[in-house]
C-alpha cells in the first residue's frame, strides 16, 4: 500500500472519528428528549400503508428514476403531491396519507415520491444533488402523475426547499395549476445560519465528507459507525418530549436506510441553497407555513421569516413539536391541511373514506 493511500485512509478515519465526537455532543443535547414514552399508542399502527397504493416511477430530466405511490384516481377534486425531508422517505407522510383518506375520501388524490438518492429512488450523480434539481424532479412528478387539474404541493424540510425551487423555475406551473402550498419546517435561504445545520461547517463534519469521498468502503461497511453520527442528530431533531417507541423506531429506520453517499452529496446543497426568488410566485395563493417550536434543525424563527415574506400565508407554530410535527402531532397538521384545502377551494371534507 502506498504512503499516500495510508495517509488518505488515516485522514478519513480521523475525520469520521471527529464527526463521531460531534455526535457525542449531540447525544447530550438529545438527552432532553424524554424517551421511552409511558405508552405506545402506535404499537399496532400499519406504517406500511403507503405500500398498498399504486406504485410507479418517473424519470427525471437526467434519467434518475423517482419512485412514486398514488392514492385515488382522476375523479378527485384536487391532487396533493408530497415531497419529504432529508434522510426521510415518502413513508414519513404516513399519517397524512391515512387521515386525509379518512376525512376527504374520494375528493382528494395523493401522490408521494422519494427524493433522488432516498428510499426506492435511483442513485444520482454528485453534481445533480442540488435543491434546483429537486425542484425539477418535483415538476416532473407533477407532469407525469398529475397532468391535469388543480394541485396542492406539500414539502417538509428539504422537500419544502424543492417546492420553492420548483416555484422559482416553473412560475407558469404555479400560475395555472398549483392552488395551494404547504411549507413545513423549511426555509427559503440561509438554512445554516442557525440550529443544528451549523454543524455542516464544523471541521469534524468536513472530515466526515472527506471520509466518504476518500474511503467510501470504510464508511459504508461500518454502518454502526455512521449510525452513531446520524442517530443522535435524529434524536435531537425529530421529536420533543414523550414519543411512541414504535414511532421512534419507524423514523430511525428511515434514517438508517438512507445511503451514506446520499447524505454526503446533499450536505453542500443544503448549505448553499437560496430559493428567495420563489417567494413572489407564491403571492396571492393559499400557503401554509408550519414549524415546530422546538425544532433545532430549522428553528421556528425561520418559519416566521418565511411566512412574513409570503403575503396572507397562514403560520402555524406547533408548540410541543421539533422537526417532525407531521409524525408526532398528525392531528395538528390535519387541521392545518383542512384549512389549506378549504382556502384552495376544495370542498367536501369529512367524507367517509373509500379504501382508506
* Residue range 153-163, pLDDT digits in tens: 999 999 999 99
| DSSP secondary structure letter of residue 84 | -
Mean pLDDT along residues 5-13: 43
Residue 198 pLDDT: 53
Domains assigned to the chain: 3-343 (3.40.50.1820)
Residue that the C-alpha cell 504512503 belongs to: 3
Q: What is the pTM of this model?
A: 0.84
Residue 10 pLDDT: 44
The CA-based diameter of the chain, rounded to the nearest angstrom, is: 70
Strand partners, 112: 69, 82
C-beta of residue 298 within 8 angstroms of C-beta of residue 195: yes
Residue 214 pLDDT: 54
Of 328 and 252, which is predicted with more confidence? 328
Lowest mean pLDDT among 65-69, 208-212, 249-253, 335-339: 208-212
Residue 76 has pLDDT above 70, yes or no: yes
Residue 87 has pLDDT above 80, yes or no: yes
Residue 263 pLDDT: 82
Residue 271 pLDDT: 72
Residue among 123, 167, 141 at smallest CA distance from 84: 141
pLDDT tens digits, residue range 204-263?
455 555 555 555 554 444 444 544 565 566 556 899 988 999 998 899 888 878 887 888
Of 82 and 237, which is predicted with more confidence? 82
Residue 345 has pLDDT above 90, yes or no: yes
Helix 158-169 to helix 131-145 angle (10° resolution) is: 80
Mean pLDDT along residues 26-33: 45
Q: How far apart are CA 91 and CA 180, in angstroms?
A: 22
Residue among 307, 348, 329 at smallest CA distance from 247: 329
Of 62 and 18, which is predicted with more confidence? 62
Amino acid at each position: 500500500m502506498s504512503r499516500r493511500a495510508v495517509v488518505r485512509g488515516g485522514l478519513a478515519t480521523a475525520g469520521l472519528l471527529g464527526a463521531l465526537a460531534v455526535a457525542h455532543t449531540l447525544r447530550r443535547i438529545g438527552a432532553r428528549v424524554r424517551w421511552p414514552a409511558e405508552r405506545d399508542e402506535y404499537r399496532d399502527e400499519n406504517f406500511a400503508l403507503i405500500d398498498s397504493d399504486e406504485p410507479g416511477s418517473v424519470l427525471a430530466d437526467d434519467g434518475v428514476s423517482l419512485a412514486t405511490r398514488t392514492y385515488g384516481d382522476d375523479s378527485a377534486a384536487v391532487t396533493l403531491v408530497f415531497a419529504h425531508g432529508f434522510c426521510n422517505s415518502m413513508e414519513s407522510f404516513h399519517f397524512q396519507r391515512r387521515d386525509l383518506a379518512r376525512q376527504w375520501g374520494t375528493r382528494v388524490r395523493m401522490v408521494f415520491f422519494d427524493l433522488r438518492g432516498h428510499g426506492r429512488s435511483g442513485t444520482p450523480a454528485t453534481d445533480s444533488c442540488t435543491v434546483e434539481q429537486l425542484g425539477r424532479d418535483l415538476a416532473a412528478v407533477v407532469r407525469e402523475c398529475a397532468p391535469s387539474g388543480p394541485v396542492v404541493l406539500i414539502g417538509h424540510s428539504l422537500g419544502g426547499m424543492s417546492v420553492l425551487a420548483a416555484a422559482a423555475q416553473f412560475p407558469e406551473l404555479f400560475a395555472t395549476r398549483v392552488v395551494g402550498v404547504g411549507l413545513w419546517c423549511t426555509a427559503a435561504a440561509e438554512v445554516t445560519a442557525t440550529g443544528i445545520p451549523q454543524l455542516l461547517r464544523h471541521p469534524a463534519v468536513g472530515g466526515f465528507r472527506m471520509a466518504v469521498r476518500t474511503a467510501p468502503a470504510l464508511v459504508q461497511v461500518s454502518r454502526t459507525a455512521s449510525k452513531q453520527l446520524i442517530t443522535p442528530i435524529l434524536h435531537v431533531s425529530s421529536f420533543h418530549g414523550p414519543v411512541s417507541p414504535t414511532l421512534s423506531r419507524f423514523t430511525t429506520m428511515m434514517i438508517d436506510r438512507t445511503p451514506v453517499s446520499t447524505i454526503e452529496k446533499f450536505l453542500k446543497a443544503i448549505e448553499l441553497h437560496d430559493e428567495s426568488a420563489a417567494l413572489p410566485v407564491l403571492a396571492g395563493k393559499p400557503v401554509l407555513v408550519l414549524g415546530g417550536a422546538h425544532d433545532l434543525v430549522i428553528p421556528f424563527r425561520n418559519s416566521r421569516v418565511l411566512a412574513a415574506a409570503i403575503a396572507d400565508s397562514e403560520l402555524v407554530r406547533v408548540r410541543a413539536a421539533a422537526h417532525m410535527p407531521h409524525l408526532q402531532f398528525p392531528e395538528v397538521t390535519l387541521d392545518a391541511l383542512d384549512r389549506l384545502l378549504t382556502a384552495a377551494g376544495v370542498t367536501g371534507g369529512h367524507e367517509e373514506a373509500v379504501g382508506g
